[in-house]
Structure 1
Amino acid sequence: MRPLAKRKAQREPTIALINIVFLMLVFFMVAGTLAQPLDQDLKLIETRDLEGRAPPDALVVHPDGRLTHAAQDITSAADFIATLDEEARATVRLLPDRALPAKTLVRLTRELRAAGAGRVLLVTQRALQ
C-alpha cells in the first residue's frame, strides 16, 4: 500500500484578479468625481448672439501671416515686443486666424519668445454645446 501523497492546496489566481479589478473600480470612481458637478439650478450665460472681438492687447495674425495690433500693421514680432513695456511682455496674447498654417504659427511664437515675450497665449474660440 502506497502512502497517500499530501496534496498542497493551490490558491485560486482569480482572487488576486478580483482584488485588482476592485481597486481599479475604486480608482475610477474617485477620479471621476474630482470635478464638482454644476449646481442643478445654475443656468449658464449664452454667448451665441454676441459679436466676437479680439482682446485689445492681442496681436492678430491673419491667414497670410500678416500681423496687426489695434488695427495697425506690425512688420515683425520683434517690432511688436519692442513697443511693449516690461509688464506687457510677461504675457503676450496671440490671436491667430483659423486658416493660418500651423508652421507659421509655431515660427511666430518662437520669434515672440526670442524677442522677449515671457509667455505666449493663444486666444481661441471655445464653444459649449
Structure 2
Amino acid sequence: MSIHRKPRTAREPTIALINVVFLMLVFFMVAGTLAPPMESDLSLVRTADLDGRAPPEVLVIHADGRLSHRGMPLPDVVTYLTTAQDSDVVRLMPDRDLPAETLLRIADEAQAAGPKSVLIITEKALR
C-alpha cells in the first residue's frame, strides 16, 4: 500500500514580514521624534505691536516702486550694489502692496547686475 502525500507548499514568511514592518515603525518613531506639546502655562511673545524695521543691508521697495536703503532714496539697484557691503547677495524687501510685475522687474535688474543670489524678504506668521 502506497501513501500519497501532498507536496508541501512553501509557507509565506509572514512572521518575518511583521518583524520588518515593526522594525521600520520603531525606526521612524525614533528618527522623526515628535515635538512635545507646548506647556499649557506658557504664553508666546507677541510681536504685533513692535515697530518693524528693515535690516540694515536690505533694499526696500515701496508700494509705488521707489527704492531706498537705510532710509535714503536710491535711483536704481546698481547704485545700491555700489554702496552695499555684501554685493554677492541682494536682499529685496518689497511692500505688501507692490505689484508683482514691479517686483519681478527689479529682481531681474538686480540679478543682471551680477550678484550671486537675489533674496526676497517676506513676513512669516505663526498661525
Q: TM-score range by the shorter chain?
A: 0.5 to 0.7
- Larger proportion of helix: 1
Compute the TM-score of the two structures, normalised by the length of structure 1: 0.66
Instruction: Summarize the alignment of residues 1-129 of structure 1 with structure 2, pairs less than 5 Å apart.
Output: 3-12=3-12, 14-15=14-15, 17-33=17-33, 44-85=44-85, 88-129=86-127
Deviations 1:82-116 (A, max 9, x none): 2224xx21333211122334454344334323313
Maintained 8 Å contact 1:81/1:116: no
Query: Are 2:93 and 2:121, in contact at CA under 8 Å, matched by a contact in 1?
Result: yes
* CA–CA separation in structure 2 for the residues paired with 1:99 and 1:6: 80
Q: Over aligned residues, Cα RMSD in angstroms?
A: 3.4
What are structure 2's unaligned runs of at least 5 residues? Answer: none
Secondary structure at the counterpart of residue 93 of structure 2: strand
Q: Give TM-score, length-normalised by structure 2.
A: 0.67
Q: How many residues align?
A: 126
